[in-house]
Chain A
Amino acid sequence: MSALRELYQEVILDHNKSPRNFRKMENANRKVEGYNPLCGDHYTVYLQLEHNVIKDVSFEGAGCAISKASASVMSATVKGKTKAEAEKLFESFHTLVTGKMDGMAGVGTLGKLAAFSGVSEFPARVKCASLAWHTLKAALESQDDVVTTE
């Protein structure tokens, strides 16, 4: 499989085309904007966080397929998770997209997030894949500022 096909896997193309949880959340108690000044990708992540559990998560904004699919898969993955679990997932995801994951054992625990394994072959796209996650992290830590991947 070419590196390109590895990057644009079905899961990513699907989530780009029909992003999940792609909406504004009126009753969110956390809201953070994420911005990648390099390419102009721009998302807002909304959270309903109760007792450190992500009751609901959604996002809106615009960007490339990698960033949008990543935000979508992320939202589907972290819903219902605790703050600590979500942060752990981000760590694993980051290890995956930066190509630092040893062997397939780790990938196996990632579920749909594993679709982003191809990103590691494209260093310029790592920021696209991690933008929504950085934004989520900021929301969990309740930093109300705009975060960037720079």
Chain B
Amino acid sequence: MTEDIATSKVVEKPNVSTKKSFDVQRIREDFPILRHWVSGKPLVYLDNAATSQKPKVVLDAMNHYYLEENSNIHRGVHTLSDKATQSYEAARVKVQKRINASSAKEIIFTRGTTESINLVASSYGRKHVQRGDIVLISAMEHHSNIVPWQMLCEEKSATLNVIPMNDNGELLLEEYKKLLTEKVKIVALTHVSNALGTINPIKEMIATAHSKGIPVLIDGAQAITHLKIDVQDLDCDFYTFSSHKMFGPTGVGVLYGKQHLLEAMPPYQGGGDMIKSVTFEKTVYNDLPNKFEAGTPNIAGGVGLGATIDYLNKIDLQSLAQYEHELLVYATEVLSEIKGLRIIGNAKDKASVISFVLDGVHPHDIGTILDDDGIAIRTGHHCAQPVMKRFGIPATARASFAMYNTKEEVDALVKGIHKTIEVFS
């Protein structure tokens, strides 16, 4: 059914305005929250790696769904159920096109990146990882790409091995090659580090793993907003991301998996919608993607994600990437000039994320003082405690930029940091 939709009514042609120069002010107008004031100052939202803001079109699409189409999907014969099903399945096709998956069956809707990874660890992992095997992750993973594998390894008496990184926050590829032994049953790797901003050379790393017959899962939670993702070109076996970090609603995410892998995997959760037939003796599971989507999903979230992709399709990704890179370069330059400030994570290839520490001032205090000027940043360990340990620090302050941030906001951040230094001097 999803295939039919793909070729018929749903795929809206993006409004190809292909503006070469990136108009940040026009983008900002699409996000109502950016006009808000916090602590008596205009909001400067620099916590995009935690979650991004939502454009009005996304909120409108979800509102429209609830006001005019709300119904359960894949069930009713009535008009509303049909409409809801079409909108939800259309969103799946939009995701498929956005990341260039070969079929909409390869797009599994989940609650978010975390659930996507848990699904793979639980279903694929339990089937393929046995006593004495190894799961290989990297030193810069988010807790959500550590703990599910750790739980699996504990259950199976398997070992969790870690690809080390250097002081700039770059993975050591030679070490990686050495760690790829025949005992390794899966590699789980972040595309972009949430705590350091590092963009890992995943295409090359996937190829290396594949040369030894080892599948690779990519945590794309941070990458999805900054980079063009082509799962066929990357040749990853699984790719996971969340809607809420890419300007969509919370509570919905995606697991992309190669069809033959997903088909061979046992279900993750049991319930309605994931079955073809149920008797007390035996249940026949549904086909992809429904096999992995037990229960009523986050329909409005899916619809919202679909609208988000429509919105993003209208923005030229190349000029967006260039704009974000300019912001990163500018912010790195002006922040580096602040005495006592040290940037954590200096990889050659970085997304617009800057983690830093300030001499004599704990990140938490920086966060509170910046908030007094309406500036929102993240402070703490960023759900990456092993990264903090690697750099010998308890926490960092992190400014993470999205396409709607401006150089003026970077300046406001710098001013806020100077104010922080003054309070603590």
Return 24 A-B CB contacts under 8 Å, by A number.
A2-B372, A4-B369, A8-B369, A13-B424, A17-B360, A38-B380, A39-B363, A39-B380, A40-B388, A40-B394, A41-B364, A62-B362, A62-B394, A63-B362, A63-B394, A64-B362, A64-B363, A64-B364, A65-B361, A65-B424, A66-B365, A68-B362, A124-B368, A128-B364
B381 at the interface (CB under 8 A from A): yes
- The residue in A4, A63, A122, A124 that gathers the most chain B C-beta atoms within 10 A of its C-beta is A4
Are A39 and B395 also in contact (CB < 8 A) when A63-B362, A65-B362, A65-B424 are?
yes
Are A39 and B372 also in contact (CB < 8 A) when A8-B423, A62-B394 are?
no
B145 at the interface (CB under 8 A from A): no
Q: Whole-angstrom distance from the CB of B129 to the nearest CB of chain A?
A: 28
Q: Whole-angstrom distance from the CB of B43 to the nearest CB of chain A?
A: 17
Residue-wise interface mask of A (14-26) relative to B, using a CB-CB cutoff of 8 A (1 in contact, 0 not): 0011000000000
Are A7 and B394 also in contact (CB < 8 A) when A13-B424, A39-B380, A40-B380 are?
no
Contact of B424 with A7 in the complex, beta carbons under 8 Å: no
B379 at the interface (CB under 8 A from A): yes
Residues from chain A with a CB closer than 8 A to the CB of B424 are 8, 13, 16, 65
Residues from chain B with a CB closer than 8 A to the CB of A62 are 362, 394
Are A122 and B368 also in contact (CB < 8 A) when A8-B423, A63-B362, A65-B362 are?
yes
Query: Which residue from A3, A8, A39, A65 sits with its C-beta under 8 Å from B379?
Result: A39
Are A40 and B368 also in contact (CB < 8 A) when A8-B423, A64-B362, A65-B362 are?
no
Residues from chain B with a CB closer than 8 A to the CB of A3 are 372
Residues from chain B with a CB closer than 8 A to the CB of A40 are 380-381, 385, 388, 394-395
- Expressed in whole angstroms, the Cα–Cα distance for A4 and B361 within the complex equals 15
Using C-beta atoms within 8 Å of the partner chain, give the interface range for chain A: 20 to 34
Q: Whole-angstrom distance from the CB of A5 to the nearest CB of chain B?
A: 8
Residue-wise interface mask of A (88-107) relative to B, using a CB-CB cutoff of 8 A (1 in contact, 0 not): 00000000000000000000
- Residue numbers of B with Cβ under 8 A of A are 360-365, 368-369, 372, 379-381, 385, 388, 394-395, 423-424
A125 at the interface (CB under 8 A from B): yes
Which 5 A-B pairs rank lowest in CB-CB distance, beginning with the nearest? A64-B364, A64-B362, A40-B394, A4-B372, A40-B395
Q: Whole-angstrom distance from the CB of B114 to the nearest CB of chain A?
A: 17
Contact of A65 with B365 in the complex, beta carbons under 8 Å: yes
- Expressed in whole angstroms, the Cα–Cα distance for A87 and B395 within the complex equals 31
Residues from chain A with a CB closer than 8 A to the CB of B362 are 62-65, 68
- Expressed in whole angstroms, the Cα–Cα distance for A122 and B363 within the complex equals 16
- Expressed in whole angstroms, the Cα–Cα distance for A128 and B364 within the complex equals 9
A42 at the interface (CB under 8 A from B): yes
Are A64 and B388 also in contact (CB < 8 A) when A38-B380, A40-B380, A42-B394 are?
no
- The residue in A17, A41, A65 that gathers the most chain B C-beta atoms within 10 A of its C-beta is A65
- The residue in B361, B365, B380 that gathers the most chain A C-beta atoms within 10 A of its C-beta is B365
Residue-wise interface mask of A (111-127) relative to B, using a CB-CB cutoff of 8 A (1 in contact, 0 not): 00000000000101100
- Expressed in whole angstroms, the Cα–Cα distance for A101 and B360 within the complex equals 32
Residues from chain B with a CB closer than 8 A to the CB of A4 are 368-369, 372, 423
- The residue in B369, B372, B385, B388 that gathers the most chain A C-beta atoms within 10 A of its C-beta is B372
Contact of B364 with A39 in the complex, beta carbons under 8 Å: yes
Contact of A64 with B369 in the complex, beta carbons under 8 Å: no
Q: Whole-angstrom distance from the CB of B382 to the nearest CB of chain A?
A: 10
Residues from chain B with a CB closer than 8 A to the CB of A66 are 364-365
Q: Whole-angstrom distance from the CB of B142 to the nearest CB of chain A?
A: 15
Residues from chain A with a CB closer than 8 A to the CB of B368 are 4, 7, 122, 124-125
Q: Whole-angstrom distance from the CB of B96 to the nearest CB of chain A?
A: 38
- Expressed in whole angstroms, the Cα–Cα distance for A66 and B362 within the complex equals 10
